[in-house]
Structure 1
Amino acid sequence: MMTAVGVIVVIITVYFLIKRYDARLVLLASGIIMACVAGTPMVSLNAFAKEMTNSGLIQAVCSVMGFAMVMKYTECDKHLINLMANGLSKVRPLLIPGVVLATYAVNVALPSAAGTAAAAGAIFVPLMMSAGVHPAMAGAAVKCGTYGSMLNPGLAHNPFVAKIAGVGVMDVIAFHFKANIASLLTATILITLIAYYRKEHTGYKAEGFEAEASFKVKHLYALMPIFPIVILILGATAIIPAFKMDVPQAMVIGSLVALLVTRKNPVNLSNAFFDGMGKAYGEILGIIIAAGVFVSGLTAIGLVKAFTDSMLSNPAIVKICAAVGPFILGLVVGSGDAATFAFNQAITPHAADFGMSVVQMGSMATLGGTLGRTMSPIAGATIIIAGIAGVNPMEIAKRNCLPMVGAMIVGMLFLLA
């Protein structure tokens, strides 16, 4: 009986998420309701308190978002994007694949998909349209690259999986690195072929869209967004052992170096860093906390055990569920976070029971959810890019459909290899 009630609550939860109600409110309410039905209301509240002090996640996510706000304040992100745009404008045949790869690179350094969409879209969409690329295809090319955050140690899912597995964040990234690059190359090739097949790679007459040719790029500024990533990679690979450090230290060092290079107001820069940290806790960690409460409700009402038992009886469906489940929910809801966090909290700790490692299953769920969100017409990043290009978000989603599905298939094959 309780299992049936739980299923009904989950269906209602998905409905409200699709209707774009606040994910934190929906997940919190659902988790508390299921815990109350199970007769253990304090389970959900205890989960809330526990998730609030998840130190590993707080350190990584908040420090990265603080650094991202510093890059926005100093305009170093703008210099990086314009530097890439200047190079791409000189090789028109490689413009579309180049924009996908460049956007991906920007998203690695600046892990917010919506932030990357706004910053990169404002430069790359006008650049492509002025070169004759159809507006919807220009938007699709930028959107196609907005999952580079998978390679950023501050993406909440990376430290989340690392904590469950008991390994370092860079170990998680090292595991899914090849799968991510393979999926990126697949998506890049497919979006380029679609552009040529639809004849949208050239011939469009843009009015009022001109690249920011007058912008003077400062190369040292352009290097600042990737500085902490370089430090972390050099330290994690022992190329420079002295650089071995955790994410927060690297982000603070990156912010200090940016201050020295740009000579901006130290007070304003400090405010930007802490504003970013606060925003990260409220918006990103808020979803993680709510997902934890939701999973506690699922556990209390018996759905997690029922789901786990069904997968143990049918191990063949586990790999499909880990990838396709978060992908579909990311597509439908417009955010891969809620589905991925819930899956990784409830199922991924039991990965060994299905013949998989925690990092493997967690990476599959993360990549699936991220690619689903990248394809979604209602994702915030899609809506931002559509606004810049002046097209319907659905037009961008249609062009990204095949590239994202292809990217998921190839990425999952690499993760399962």
Structure 2
Amino acid sequence: MIVIGLLIIIATFWLIIKNYETRLVLALSGGLMAILGRDLVGSVDAFIQQFVNSGLVPTICTVLGFSYVMNYTKCSDHLVAMMTNILKRVPMIILPSTVIVTFFLNIALPSAAGVAAAVGALLIPMLLALKVKPGMAASAVYLGTWGSVISPGLMFNPQIADMAKVDVMTVIARTTPSVLISLGVAAVLLTIMAIVMKEGVGSNKDALATDEGQVVKVNYLYAVVPVLPLILLVISSKQIGLIPFISVPQAMLLGTMIGFVVTRCNPGEATKKFFRGAGDGFADVVGLMAAAAMFCAGMESIGLTGALVNVMKESQAAAQFAAAAGPFAMAAVSGSGNAAALAFNGAVVPHAADFGYEIIELGSVAQIAAALGRTMSPVAAAAIICAKLAGVNPMEIAKRNAIPTIGATIVVTLLLL
């Protein structure tokens, strides 16, 4: 049964890499394993339970709704433009600053593809105007698109919080210092590569004089609105406690209402955008988590989860390596780390104490490694967007991001585990 289960898992990930519908592949694979393990009903129940998970569903749906409203009101554009205007004043540190600014914008705007499009449209032309080589310009923006790992709206943080029986800000507070150190490592490594490869500011001698991208007159009040929910969550968290506790859904709804008032948008249309985002969050994110839960239940019924846990009990090094290397490699190949990270978190992380780790740390390493693996993938949507904006092949970005992302993964794994 173990061998059959391993073959099913290999086939599952191969189909995902080949861009078959991830939810369908995970659900069918989980169902097949559950049939072999004589527990199809249990696998289906695991699928259904995710749809009524009170800790995850409201968080994911309200975050996506808020994000859609920010795009509709153009508040996201003003936030990006404000950060871009700051960067223009420091050309000598423009590459690491681009990585870091994109990273922090990705916390407020959790979609990697969305932030790549919004930030790339402004920063990549600016970098090209400063005579940065196109491949390096695209890589700098793309390398910052894993900031969502410390966003309360990322599906994994509520999932880990639910398993650990803590609030989502506790998870983020525990992982943020290690993530920020890893961010610094990635930014420095890319800067060193730009120097060694002679692709930094002023290196592209053949570049024609160009405009520095579109000019947006920043409305600073609009620019602040996308980060208001984050501010509310931080100051109301148990670690700070300046105001009474506010949950993620509450913060997102408050941010949405403030956006309505500040931008004086059409409330009817903005409301439609909010619920469209909430619906897409349910379909795309909650649906994926439900399929992953069915997959994990199938693994457990066939005995594969128990075998994997037993191997990890024998060695902390095995658990440490599996948590980082598996999701990273899967994401780098497929362009999405969601399936691998969800499978690992669902099957292995609940047993973290059995091999000497805590749920928060082990689960966080898996999802951070997946995000970093996706940040060097040439087939991810964010990579394709950045490559298009810079006029290069996505593979050129992947080659430049390989060392920084691998370095950051090693550092965050060693710091957290």
Which residue in the other structure is 1:148 paired with?
Answer: 147
Which residue in the other structure is 1:21 paired with?
Answer: 20
**Percent of pairs identical after alignment?**
43
Which residue in the other structure is 2:157 paired with?
Answer: 158
Which residue in the other structure is 1:340 paired with?
Answer: 341
Q: Could you tell me the TM-score, scaled by structure 2's length?
A: 0.96
Pairing of 1:74-113 with structure 2 (within 5 A) = 74-113=73-112
Cα distance in 1, alignment partners of residues 21 and 413 from structure 2: 30
Deviations 1:359-389 (A, max 9, x none): 1111111111111111111111111111111
Cα distance in 1, alignment partners of residues 352 and 26 from structure 2: 24
**Higher alpha-carbon deviation: 229-238 or 182-191:** 229-238
Which residue in the other structure is 1:405 paired with?
Answer: 406
Pairing of 1:295-374 with structure 2 (within 5 A) = 295-374=296-375
1:203 aligns with 2:203: yes
Gaps in structure 2 of 5+ consecutive residues: none
Which residue in the other structure is 1:245 paired with?
Answer: 246
Pairing of 1:116-195 with structure 2 (within 5 A) = 116-195=115-194
Which residue in the other structure is 2:223 paired with?
Answer: 222
Cα distance in 2, alignment partners of residues 67 and 314 from structure 1: 43
Deviations 1:248-294 (A, max 9, x none): 11011111111111111111111111111111111111211110011
Alpha-carbon contact 1:364-1:412 (below 8 Å) kept: yes
Q: Once superposed, what is the RMSD of the aligned Cα atoms? A: 1.4
Cα distance in 2, alignment partners of residues 286 and 209 from structure 1: 45
Counterpart amino acid of residue 180 in structure 2: I
Deviations 1:162-199 (A, max 9, x none): 00000110010011011110010000101111111111
Cα distance in 2, alignment partners of residues 391 and 214 from structure 1: 24
Counterpart amino acid of residue 42 in structure 1: V
Alpha-carbon contact 1:232-1:243 (below 8 Å) kept: no
Counterpart amino acid of residue 292 in structure 1: A
Cα distance in 1, alignment partners of residues 334 and 214 from structure 2: 37
From the superposition, tell whether residues 305 and 135 of structure 1 become closer, same or farther in structure 2 (CA, over 3 Å): same
Cα distance in 1, alignment partners of residues 367 and 3 from structure 2: 28
Residue 93 of structure 1 deviates from its aligned partner by 0.6
From the superposition, tell whether residues 318 and 130 of structure 1 become closer, same or farther in structure 2 (CA, over 3 Å): same
From the superposition, tell whether residues 336 and 242 of structure 1 become closer, same or farther in structure 2 (CA, over 3 Å): same
Cα distance in 2, alignment partners of residues 217 and 139 from structure 1: 24
Counterpart amino acid of residue 156 in structure 1: M
Residue 114 of structure 1 deviates from its aligned partner by 1.1
Which residue in the other structure is 1:53 paired with?
Answer: 52
* 3-state SS of 1:236 partner: coil
Residue 353 of structure 1 deviates from its aligned partner by 0.5
Cα distance in 1, alignment partners of residues 29 and 212 from structure 2: 47
Cα distance in 1, alignment partners of residues 209 and 89 from structure 2: 21
Alpha-carbon contact 1:234-1:241 (below 8 Å) kept: yes
Deviations 1:128-175 (A, max 9, x none): 111111111111000110011111111110000000000110010011
Cα distance in 2, alignment partners of residues 61 and 207 from structure 1: 45
Cα distance in 2, alignment partners of residues 91 and 58 from structure 1: 42
Alpha-carbon contact 2:123-2:213 (below 8 Å) kept: no
Cα distance in 2, alignment partners of residues 335 and 217 from structure 1: 33
Counterpart amino acid of residue 152 in structure 1: S
After superposing on structure 2, the runs of 4+ consecutive aligned residues of structure 1 that deviate more than 4 Å are 205-209, 237-240
1:115 aligns with 2:92: no
Which residue in the other structure is 1:257 paired with?
Answer: 258
* 3-state SS of 1:375 partner: coil
Cα distance in 1, alignment partners of residues 66 and 213 from structure 2: 25
Cα distance in 2, alignment partners of residues 365 and 330 from structure 1: 11
Q: Could you tell me the TM-score, scaled by structure 1's length?
A: 0.96
* 3-state SS of 1:35 partner: helix
Counterpart amino acid of residue 150 in structure 2: L
Cα distance in 2, alignment partners of residues 326 and 218 from structure 1: 40
From the superposition, tell whether residues 214 and 378 of structure 1 become closer, same or farther in structure 2 (CA, over 3 Å): closer
Counterpart amino acid of residue 113 in structure 1: A
From the superposition, tell whether residues 352 and 238 of structure 1 become closer, same or farther in structure 2 (CA, over 3 Å): closer
**Higher alpha-carbon deviation: 143-152 or 235-244:** 235-244
Which residue in the other structure is 1:377 paired with?
Answer: 378
Residue 339 of structure 1 deviates from its aligned partner by 0.6
Counterpart amino acid of residue 318 in structure 1: A
From the superposition, tell whether residues 243 and 123 of structure 1 become closer, same or farther in structure 2 (CA, over 3 Å): farther
Residue 27 of structure 1 deviates from its aligned partner by 0.4
